[in-house]
Amino acid sequence: MEDKVDVLVLSIGPDERPASEVTFLSMLDVALLSARRAGVFVAQAAGNSGPAESSVVSYSPWVTTVAAATTGRSYTSWLVLGDGRRIPGLGLSAPTIQSRLVAAKDAAVPDAASMEHAEECQHAEALSFRTDVLRGSIVVCSFSRGFYNGTSTLSAIRDVAQALGFAGFVLVADAQHGGDFLAQPLPFSVPGVMVPRVADAMVLWSYYAAHTVYGGSATVFGATAAITEGRVAAFTDAAPVVARYSSRGPDVIDRESTPADVLKPDILAPGDQVWAAWSALSVGETIFSGNHFAMISGTSMAAPHIGGVAALIRQRHPSWGPSAVASALSTTARRHDRQKRPIMSEGFQIGSLHTGTPFHYGAGFVNPAGALDPGLVVAPEPDDYTSFLCSLPQLSPDDVLAATGLACQTPLASPVDLNLPSVTVSALRGSLFVRRRVTNVASNAETYLCSTLPPAGVSVTVRPAWFEVAPGETQEVVIELRVTRASNAFSFGEILLAGSLDHLVRLPLAVRPLAT
């Protein structure tokens, strides 16, 4: 704490599972354990490998892992065909007037070696055969193999469009090479629109074919189109939604993807299409070159939101440690969107939505006002993390000492007893008693009533059923979990502690009930 750091935000994670015996003892995770023990709150991006399960790259219970959500703000531009049909797309650019529509492949130099570069609009030389036709036209480029293998770029399309005098360009999905593609609104210095769905691209190609005459090569270009204004935002109430790319749980303890008794991600925050300050040099993203602001999506955009809220909490409550801050964020998070419906998650198919689970959003969507006054916190002490590591069957006391420099003194009875503001049991056989300690951080005594929403296949009993807790006092809560129907899948529920002074404390449950 000598450098006075209270909050650390990380937009980094491993490219693959750590080589250490358990994920919690990677070099990075051990360093972050030292940060937590020093009193530093750590928010780490969950990763951008969703929606595949067990894709989180932030593993440890001493780190707050942040998933990314949409904000309800979207930027849509349209390609308006000459017959009036409108094809949706993306592109932060100015509009065009109705102009001739030309496929780049119909202006290619008659050389098979140049065809792919021509179709993808990557080199002006590959399109020099019909520059007179391209000038002043809206040119259709294909999102095909070069974009997937990294040899083709949007910046190159922009440069070709400027060099050859396009009125605008359309980048369309290629059914033969990749299909639908993911797109984010990007700034184009020439009018441009990306059409990422093959179904929409087929509408365009059907219209184009009906208005183009070929005599060996295209001789009559009768199709027209216009690109609409793409820089105006539209807003909906269907937010937050877990973004497609946001990495998912369950957390894993080793390279074999064995589920861990730790909930990941921890929380959901805005991360999709976020405007932020940007280096005008744009070393890694040339499309933003010269811009001092850019709109970026990813869990790396979500983690700073949690870091900022954590800083506000520590400013309001300077005596709170990082575990108390993490608990306040978790137990007050929201499980519903702005329309009071359960939070949804984007799936593998573009545009698909599924009901979200704690493995998508953790405890829920961050609620800054609620986190400032959580009523109770469920906060591990720094030494509890060592006890947690020492309770893992994969590790010996010597393993823990060698990795962390900390000796095993009082291992937990079970890893699930780590005093987290959630309960995750990766393998429940028969019944299990789990303990949590809750501390009143409010200024008044309060009576709490305990209720449960059990996961499918599991009965949940909380004792005591109610309790009164004074300011600064801690109460132990015992949770009995019992298998009622075995399966090999996680199911989800929650424990709700409802206070007499209107505090609501929610603890997510994620349990995999197995046969004995």
Q: How far apart are CA 192 and CA 288, in angstroms?
A: 15
- CATH tag for 375-380+419-515 (out of 2.60.40.2310, 2.60.120.260, 3.40.50.970, 3.40.50.300): 2.60.40.2310
Residue 386 has pLDDT above 90, yes or no: yes
- Token readout for 191 is 């009018």
Residue 285 has pLDDT above 90, yes or no: no
Q: What pLDDT, in 10s, does the model give residues 189-211?
A: 999 999 999 999 999 999 999 99
Distance of CA 290 to the CA centre of its chain: 27
Q: DSSP assignment, residue 28?
A: H
CATH number of 1-71+242-373: 3.40.50.200
Q: How far apart are CA 173 and CA 88, in angstroms?
A: 12
Would you list the domain boundaries of the chain?
1-71+242-373, 73-227, 375-380+419-515
Residue type, 203: V
Banded model confidence at residue 112, pLDDT cuts 50, 70, 90: low
Q: Do 73-227 and 375-380+419-515 agree at the fold level?
A: no
Q: What is the pLDDT of the chain when averaged over all its residues?
A: 93
- Indicate the helix (H) or strand (E) that contains 160: helix 154-164
For 128, half-sphere exposure in the C-beta direction (CA atoms, 13 angstrom radius) is 6
Banded model confidence at residue 493, pLDDT cuts 50, 70, 90: very high
- Indicate the helix (H) or strand (E) that contains 501: none
Summarize the confidence of residues 372-391 as an average pLDDT.
Answer: 96
- pTM over 0.85? The answer is yes
Q: Thinking of the domain 73-227, which architecture would CATH place it in?
A: 3-Layer(bba) Sandwich (3.50)
Question: Taking a C-beta distance cutoff of 8 angstroms, is the pair 513, 428 a contact?
Answer: yes
Q: How far apart are CA 93 and CA 226, in angstroms?
A: 12
For 267, half-sphere exposure in the C-beta direction (CA atoms, 13 angstrom radius) is 34
